[in-house]
């Protein structure tokens, strides 16, 4: 049996490997008795005797080990510890994958909102989307992106762009009109916060409560909720601009972004 992590090196003995393993992998190998610490870690080859790439790149951790990490009959303790190592490596790989997906979709949605803000002509800045002006829909969207990226409601830091504090988020209308430059700068702040926040999330933090009493969901689901809210209003702004500005009806004017910032 083999398990894979995300790190690739050529043939190396376990003596040379352990100091070079990332901290997370070292912690896995050093959690248990000495035989687990001495688990033979090979380079990414399916067969230990041949140089053949594994179907999934990365470290291959042998689990057919007996006492003191040597091939042979396994003890129950050794099998259980190595099975635990497999599980931890798989969980770590999945966590990294989820972080990558969330970050890619957050940046893509913010990129599309940025296109709307940048492409809105001055004559359309006060144009109505339902009963709210264009700029207010964009401002509302960014305020709640900023809010829901915070650990909880109490941790949210009000900014200069919130001149009347919480009333800017809670009242139907903001205290004043915000211009294109202000919203562009605020969007850049939200993008930076999204990348930093998602990079700091752990498997445990994503499973905790959202931190917002009106949203009884996990923090992981809160990130999806935040992206949905962001994309909902971005769709409104995009549809409005295409309707009122003939130059923006070209699909290349306001493009769909699949993932990441472009």
Q: What tens digit of pLDDT does each residue of 159-192 get?
A: 999 999 999 999 999 999 999 999 999 999 999 9
Tell me which of 42, 74, 106 is where a domain ends. Answer: 74
| 51 and 105 assigned to the same domain | no
| Other CB atoms within 10 A of residue 239 CB | 13
Tell me which of 74, 104, 123 is where a domain ends. Answer: 74
Whole-prediction pTM: 0.69
| 111 and 240 assigned to the same domain | yes
Is-contact 115 28, C-beta < 8 A?
no
CA atoms of 90 and 104, how far apart (whole Å): 21
Is-contact 174 168, C-beta < 8 A?
yes
In a domain, 86, yes or no: no
Q: How many domains does the chain have?
A: 2
Element (H, E) at 41: strand 41-42
Q: What tens digit of pLDDT does each residue of 46-92 get?
A: 333 333 334 444 444 444 544 454 554 445 556 677 677 767 777 77
Task: Please enumerate in sequence order all residues whose Cβ is within 8 A of that of 168, keeping only pairs 6 or more positions apart, or say none.
Answer: 143, 161, 162, 174, 175
Closest to 197 in 3D by CA, of 172, 214, 220, 176: 220
The per-residue pLDDT for 79 is 67
| Other CB atoms within 10 A of residue 71 CB | 11
Q: What tens digit of pLDDT does each residue of 121-130 get?
A: 999 999 999 9
Q: Is 244 exposed, middle or buried (0-12, 13-18, 19+ CB in 10 A)?
A: middle
In a domain, 82, yes or no: no
């Amino acid at each position: 049996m083999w398990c894979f992590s995300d790190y690739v090196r050529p043939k190396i003995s376990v003596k040379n490997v352990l100091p070079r393993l990332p901290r997370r992998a070292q912690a896995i190998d050093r959690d248990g008795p000495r035989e687990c610490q001495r688990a033979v870690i090979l380079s990414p080859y399916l067969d230990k005797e041949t140089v053949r790439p594994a179907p999934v790149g990365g470290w291959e951790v042998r689990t057919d080990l007996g006492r003191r990490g040597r091939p042979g009959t396994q003890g129950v303790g050794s099998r259980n510890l190595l099975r635990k190592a497999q599980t931890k490596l798989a969980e770590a790989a999945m966590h990294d994958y989820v972080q990558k997906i969330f970050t890619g979709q957050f940046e893509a949605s913010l990129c599309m909102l940025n296109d709307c803000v940048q492409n809105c002509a001055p004559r359309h800045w006060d144009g109505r989307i339902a009963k709210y002006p264009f700029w207010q829909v964009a401002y509302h969207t960014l305020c709640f992106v900023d809010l829901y990226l915070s650990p909880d409601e109490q941790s949210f830091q009000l900014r200069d762009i919130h001149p009347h504090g919480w009333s800017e988020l809670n009242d139907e209308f903001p205290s004043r009109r915000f211009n294109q430059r202000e919203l562009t700068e605020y969007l850049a702040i939200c993008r930076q916060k999204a990348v930093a926040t998602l990079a700091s999330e752990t498997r445990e933090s994503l499973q905790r409560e959202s931190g917002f009493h009106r949203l009884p969901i996990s923090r992981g689901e809160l990130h999806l909720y935040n992206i949905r809210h962001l994309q909902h209003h971005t769709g409104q702004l995009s549809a409005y601009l295409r309707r009122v500005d003939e130059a923006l009806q070209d699909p290349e004017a306001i493009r769909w972004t699949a993932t990441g910032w472009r």
